Chain A
């Protein structure tokens, strides 16, 4: 079993819809949770960074962590075609190597 599991998709939604991206993890010691956006042939770009359980909002993006169920979510409101990318979740214990999900490919249809 992988330490971080992510549905690879692909996921297609119409422009303006709310997108929900999810990951589960197995290591209860993980404390830090990140979401990255990766456009084709580019490096991953850090979108959201959260510590422990709770919600964090940044513009149209909300990251949610539920440590009791080991569930990580990213919500995108008012989705735009420019949000079309692969989204990667990642976790670690602190200031060291990350464990990544395999990524979900998202397409926003105009």
Chain B
């Protein structure tokens, strides 16, 4: 079974803090994705990566950056957290078949 894990299920941070969200997949997938999910807005793509050290902006990259130093690990970074970044963050990965598998999500609250 494909396994995508995320470092935290729940996180509370203060405005202005630097926040790291980590994602690890164990299926040797090439592609990894970060989404945020908000009520009424659905899933929105923040960044994705096709390979180590490669990154592409998604639909809402402002205020975020990413890092992919190893194939299995994809990190999302909030350089200076703001209250409008309070959301559910979901990591996903897929291989050559295109089926995309998600992690359990991190619910981030920024106070």
Contact = CB atoms under 8 A, between A and B. Distances in A.
Interface size grouping (class) on chain A: 20 to 34
Top 10 A-B residue pairs of the complex, sorted by shortest distance between their CB atoms: A102-B42, A43-B102, A100-B43, A43-B105, A43-B104, A95-B98, A44-B102, A49-B99, A32-B98, A43-B103
Interface in B64-111: 90, 94-105, 107
A96 B51 CA distance: 12
A94 B102 contact: no
A65 interface: no
A101 B42 CA distance: 7
Interface of B: 4, 31, 33, 40-43, 45, 48, 50, 58, 90, 94-105, 107
A49 B95 CA distance: 14
Contact of A97 (B42, B45, B101, B105): B45
Name the residue among A34, A90, A97, A102 with the largest chain B CB count within 10 angstroms. Answer: A97
A18 interface: no
A8 B39 CA distance: 10
A101 B96 CA distance: 23
Contact of B100 (A42, A46, A101, A103): A46
Nearest to B44: A100
Contacts of B94: 95
Interface string A15-46: 00000000000000000101010000111111
